[in-house]
Amino acid sequence: MLNARLQALPREARDTLFLLAVIGLILLPQVPNLPWWCSTLAAIVLLWRGTLAVQSAPLPGKGWRIALLALTIAATYITHRTLLGRDAGVTLVVILLALKTLELRARRDAFVVFFLGFFTMLTNFFYSQSLLTAFAMLLALLGLLTALVNAHMPVGRPPLTQAARTAGWMALLGAPIMLVLFLLFPRMAPLWGTPSDAMAGRTGLSNTMRVGTITELALDDGIAARIRFDGGRVPPRTTLYFRGPVLSQFDGREWTAAPRFQRAAAPPNLRVRGPATGYEVTLEPTNRPWVLTLDATPARPELPGYELSATPELQWIANRPISDLVRYRAESFTQFESGPVRRTTALQSYVALPPGSNPRTVALAAEMRADPALAGAATPALVQHVLQRLRTGGYSYTLEPGLYGDETADEFWFDRKAGFCEHIASAFVVLMRALDIPARIVAGFQGGEINGIDNFWVLRNSDAHAWAEVWQEGVGWVRVDPTGAISPDRVGQFRRLAPQPGLIAGAIGAMNPTLSQNLRAAWEAVNNGWNQWVLNYTQSRQLDLLKTLGFEAPSLQDLALVLLALLVVASLGGAAWTLWERSQHDPWLRLLGQARARLRQAGIELPEGASPRQMAERLAERFDGGAEPARQWLLRLEAQRYARAPAEALPALRREFRRLAWPR
């Protein structure tokens, strides 16, 4: 019934509705990234325009369009506080595309909408380059090409399926060119990324930690990074600590990173031992400059397009935020020591506490120091005493510890006795500092899981973790994970706190518990393949491709030469195709055209549609029987076509044509 109603519409209305549907497909993935008013207004405008098309009603006047444009510009400025930048620019482009449909009258207007649609389609990749986004935009591309082809078919009412077939054939013909340009067009970092406007990290890690924020992050099961260990040799699970920001300043409730240190080419005072672990990381965009590495990494990771430097706290920092999916190699040592081995004045900042904060925790530290069993105890003994308290004191690891007040350490040690990793690490470090032991918090990721499909080690946002480091005389900084004292399986077996599954995932899990996991693993493996082979196709991989082609030390110049050579070959192939295609035209018509040209040289002008018999008659009239061989040849040419003479007669006619003495 719907198809019948669409068939009954005038062609202009049908084509307009199709174009509006394609625009809706382009804008749909952008809805989570747009202000609510922008998505709502765009939907209203598209529905309005569709109603006008169905009713064959006149379009709104210029005043309406100017008023809507002014309103949206003002709303964009109020929302983003600017008209520049990625987010504000995308908002304006979306609104302009929707408003342009309100003046869709002539073919020129349609072409403007087409090309504005192509541009808007590309803006989807500013926010996501996932496989789903790419698939949705491929459908949108085919839709826009179909509408464009249909607009070039002005006569009659050609079916959209015919235009769609032509558009699909055009896309198929362009695919080899796209593949060659993708493989060989030089990758230059400034041209291939657009920084985000905001600095809100997607992994949830920050250079500040207010107790309670990582609890919310544990509900996010999205992927933060994928790791491929060399040879598939995964280190012991209890050593899989991936280092993020180090938090050392405390105001009583919030932990922050120390002011920037002088960066270096390698972490100072890092002493490693044991075997090295080589691996490759595919890091999701974080909009932060932190480069995630396994503790500890003495050498600079190999991250093309970025300049990396190390801090004294063993963290690697890039020269700009990582706003795109990146891949890099690193080599780490899970057995290490760092920092000074003798107490220095620089360590005093790691024992500082706000005056008057967490008084009961400070009093607990004083009691421990006064305990004869701990009199003169060194740092390891005090640490073990506190960890034993966590094991036996009724403390629990929970996702919902409740709302903490200002004295977070006091509440944890004496009142609630429950918390997530950040509560536990914060309370532990506060107690260590009250004992005059330098201590700090490290935020990062701990654990992960193997994807059995592609054998990548997967870190999720729910693997975000916070642990402590304490300074020990003669050793330096030592990792202590107090969460492991309360919940050993969080560190050893990676018990992940995760949200309840959705309706569909829950139903699948109820029917077959392993099916849901296998489906997710398969989908993530497919996405990882997309990330590895498409999104992470870097300049270094381009040069590696040239090595496989025989170049010993390929450079960008070699890349340009190969691309130029392929373009020349493609051009010659196109010329050969053109010549072949011309040779496939009707040889009978070509021979008739050559005969018409000979008659024109003899002064006989004939219409383009003249038949061979008409040519023969004109020839006889002009030369009064003096051109009989040519006249007979023309009659035989007509007989070959219309008397269904054998096909092999045409080559004979062609040879005879060359021998004939045509009159002049």
Query: 388-392, long-range: CB within 8 Å, 24+ apart, which pairs?
Result: 388/485, 390/424, 390/428, 390/482, 390/485, 390/486, 391/485, 391/486
**Measured CA distances, 373 to 143, 180, 289, 360, 368 (Å):** 78, 74, 46, 21, 9
pLDDT at position 242: 92
Give the pLDDT band of residue 507 (cuts 50, 70, 90). very low
Q: Of 132, 131, 160, 154, whose CA–CA distance to 22 is shortest?
A: 160
Q: Tell me the C-alpha distance between 465 and 530, whole Å.
A: 28
Q: What is the pTM of this model?
A: 0.59
Q: What is the pLDDT of residue 190?
A: 38
Alpha-carbon span 389 to 367, nearest angstrom: 14
| 335-346 average pLDDT score | 89
The residue among 565 and 413 whose pLDDT is bigger is 413
Residue 589 CB coordination number (10 Å): 10
Integer Cα distance of 138 and 143 in angstroms:
9
Average the pLDDT over 390-415 and give the result.
84
* Average pLDDT estimate for 608-630: 81
Q: Among the ranges 26-30, 357-361, 651-655, which has the highest mean pLDDT value?
A: 357-361
Whole-number Å distance between alpha carbons of 448 and 319: 28
Mean of pLDDT values over 522-545: 62
Tens-place pLDDT, residues 25-76 = 888 888 888 888 888 888 888 898 888 888 878 878 777 788 888 888 888 8
Mean pLDDT for the stretch of residues 616-629 = 80
Least confident range from 196-205, 259-268, 283-292: namely 196-205
**Residue 82, pLDDT above cutoff 60:** yes
Query: Which residue has better confidence, 570 or 327?
Result: 327
Q: What is the pLDDT of residue 433?
A: 93
Model confidence at 423: pLDDT above 70: yes
Share of the chain above pLDDT 70, in %: 80
User: Which neighbouring-strand residues pair with 397?
Assistant: 419
**pLDDT at residue 450 greater than cutoff 60:** yes
pLDDT above 90 coverage of the chain, percent? 10
Distance CA 561, CA 546 (A): 11
Nearest-CA neighbor of 21 among 34, 38, 6, 35?
A: 6
| Confidence (pLDDT) at 493 | 47
Range from 251-265, 419-433, 490-504 carrying the lowest mean pLDDT:
490-504
Q: How many other CB atoms sit within 10 Å of the CB of residue 511?
A: 9
User: Do residues 226 and 458 lie in contact, with contact meaning Cβ atoms separated by under 8 Å?
Assistant: yes
Strands (DSSP E) contained in 415-538 are 418-419, 439-446, 449-450, 457-460, 464-472, 476-480
What is the predicted pLDDT for the residue at 198? 38
**Using 50, 70 and 90 to split pLDDT, how confident is the model at 477?**
very high
Instruction: Name the average pLDDT for the chain.
Output: 79
pLDDT at residue 500 greater than cutoff 60: no
Which of 166-175, 344-353, 566-575 holds the top average pLDDT? 344-353
pLDDT of residue 469 exceeding 90, the answer is yes
Task: Using pLDDT thresholds of 50, 70 and 90, give the confidence band for residue 437.
Answer: very high
